[in-house]
């Protein structure tokens, strides 16, 4: 019998809807109440509540505390896998942080719900059941942190929330899920080709995120630089281009030793140094801006926060983002 640790951190999966007002808020009802009966005789479950927070309240220091807690619990007892319940708004960021931080081959699965436990069509219990089944699956070994929602298995690196309220919100644009779940089976149809992890001890660097837009100048970049940040992520236009009016502010930022990492505001494709005009990707790379491969702006921010705890060397940072 597999032994699975379930760690609860809060979110809609542990909330209830007020039937009079329609407001969804925290609840004393435990989201695991019904799952033990469903899995009786097949999986031994131990559950803990670490936080009771809506996911917009989750900070990087909470993510680090969660990661350390997983390590501590797995050192105390020989669990076969871990499931973490989490609110959906920042679920992808926590999952990606854990993917970068955790030092384990065993399955770690993050799940949540789009509808509270007493809403019509609630998806929390089913997602939790699916997550436990994936965490109990031998094929889930060595795949990094996984996100299981709506019968699909996604990697923490590629998954993102695509809809504000649809239960099928979690998707991996361009890549797709690496597996699916049914009522009786777990199927993986893709393999991980690469996985990285960084054993950091703290996460205290300040990294800001800016989205580019038509007509953008350098004022916002200047304001961020003057706020004493340790790093900057920019969601650039297209393949990795910016309006020319931002160039002077970017030069000052780089000259002050603040690493700037570029991703695209497009949800598919990667940034490339294709265009040579002022503000084009070629000029940005020549300036010393780091091009990130295959991550969104929020995830690039998480990665830079982790990376800066390891090094501030531009060459090493560029290698970590390649």
The backbone torsions φ and ψ at residue 43, rounded to the nearest 5 degrees and listed phi first, read: -140, 135
> Can you give the pLDDT at residue 272?
95
239-258 confidence digits (pLDDT tens)? 999 999 999 999 999 999 99
Q: Model confidence at 40, in pLDDT bands (50, 70, 90)? A: low
Q: Specify the higher pLDDT residue, 17 or 52.
A: 52
How far is C-alpha 137 from the chain's CA centre?
22
Q: Is the pLDDT of residue 29 over 60?
A: no
Distance CA 307, CA 311 (A): 6
Q: Model confidence at 65, in pLDDT bands (50, 70, 90)? A: very high
> Can you give the pLDDT at residue 271?
95
115-139 confidence digits (pLDDT tens)? 987 788 888 889 999 999 999 999 9
> Can you give the pLDDT at residue 83?
97
> Can you give the pLDDT at residue 211?
98
> Can you give the pLDDT at residue 87?
94
250-284 confidence digits (pLDDT tens)? 999 999 999 999 999 998 999 999 999 999 999 99
| Percent of the chain predicted with pLDDT > 70 | 95
- Contact between residue 15 and residue 25 where contact means Cβ atoms under 8 Å apart: yes
Q: Which segment of 18-32, 55-69, 220-234, 286-300 scores lowest on mean pLDDT?
A: 18-32
- Contact between residue 156 and residue 146 where contact means Cβ atoms under 8 Å apart: yes
Distance CA 157, CA 174 (A): 12
> Can you give the pLDDT at residue 236?
98
Q: Specify the higher pLDDT residue, 153 or 38.
A: 153
> Can you give the pLDDT at residue 97?
98
Q: What angle do CA 99, 100, 102 make, to 5 degrees?
A: 70
> Can you give the pLDDT at residue 37?
63
> Can you give the pLDDT at residue 11?
85
User: What CA–CA distances, in Å, run from 143 to 128, 178, 228?
Assistant: 19, 10, 37
> Can you give the pLDDT at residue 141?
95
- Output the DSSP codes for 158-226: T-EE--SS-TT-EE-TTT--SEEE-SS-EEE----S-------S-----EEEEE--TT--SHHHHHHHT
Q: What is the average pLDDT across 297-312?
A: 97
Q: Model confidence at 36, in pLDDT bands (50, 70, 90)? A: low
User: What CA–CA distances, in Å, run from 199 to 98, 101, 104, 196, 291?
Assistant: 11, 6, 11, 10, 23
Q: Is the pLDDT of residue 38 over 90?
A: no
| Percent of the chain predicted with pLDDT > 90 | 79
Query: Per the structure block, which two tokens stand in for 3?
Result: 């032994």
Distance CA 319, CA 82 (A): 30
- Contact between residue 46 and residue 133 where contact means Cβ atoms under 8 Å apart: no
Q: Is the pLDDT of residue 82 over 60?
A: yes
149-199 confidence digits (pLDDT tens)? 999 999 999 999 999 999 999 999 999 999 999 988 999 998 888 888 999
Backbone angle region of 269, left / alpha / beta, with phi > 0 → left and psi within -120 to 50 → alpha: left
Choosing from 9, 12, 111, 160, the catalytic residue is 12
β-pairing verdict for 43-49 and 24-26: unpaired
Q: Is the pLDDT of residue 35 over 70?
A: no
Q: What is the average pLDDT across 293-321?
A: 95
> Can you give the pLDDT at residue 154?
98
Known catalytic residue: 26?
Answer: no
Predicted TM-score (pTM) of the model is: 0.94
């Amino acid at each position: 019998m597999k032994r699975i640790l379930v760690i609860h951190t809060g979110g809609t999966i542990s909330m209830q809807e007020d039937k009079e007002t329609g407001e969804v808020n925290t609840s004393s009802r435990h989201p695991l109440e019904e799952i033990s009966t469903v899995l009786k005789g097949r999986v031994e479950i131990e559950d803990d509540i670490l936080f009771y927070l809506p996911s917009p309240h989750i900070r990087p220091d909470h993510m680090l505390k969660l990661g350390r807690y997983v390590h501590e619990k797995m050192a105390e007892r020989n669990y076969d896998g871990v499931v973490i319940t989490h609110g959906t708004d920042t679920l992808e960021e926590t999952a990606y942080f854990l993917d970068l931080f955790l030092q384990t081959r065993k399955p770690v699965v993050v799940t949540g719900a789009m509808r509270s436990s007493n809403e019509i069509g609630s998806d929390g219990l089913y997602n939790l059941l699916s997550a436990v089944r994936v965490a109990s699956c031998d094929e889930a070994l060595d795949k990094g942190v996984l996100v299981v929602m709506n019968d699909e298995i996604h990697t923490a690196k590629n998954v993102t929330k695509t809809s504000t309220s649809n239960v099928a919100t979690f998707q991996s644009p361009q890549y797709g899920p690496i597996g699916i779940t049914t009522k009786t089976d777990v199927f993986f149809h893709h393999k991980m080709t690469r996985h990285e992890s960084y054993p950091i001890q703290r996460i205290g660097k300040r990294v800001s995120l800016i989205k580019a837009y038509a007509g953008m100048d350098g004022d916002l970049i200047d304001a961020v630089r003057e706020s004493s940040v340790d790093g900057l992520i920019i969601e650039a236009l297209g393949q990795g281009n910016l309006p020319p009016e931002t160039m002077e502010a970017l030069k000052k930022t780089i000259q002050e030793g603040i690493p700037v990492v570029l991703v695209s505001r497009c949800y598919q494709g990667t940034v490339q140094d294709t265009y040579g005009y002022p503000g084009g990707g070629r000029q940005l790379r020549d300036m010393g801006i780091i091009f990130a491969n295959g991550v969104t702006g929020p995830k690039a921010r998480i990665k830079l926060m982790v990376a800066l705890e390891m090094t501030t060397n531009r060459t090493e940072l560029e290698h970590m983002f390649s």
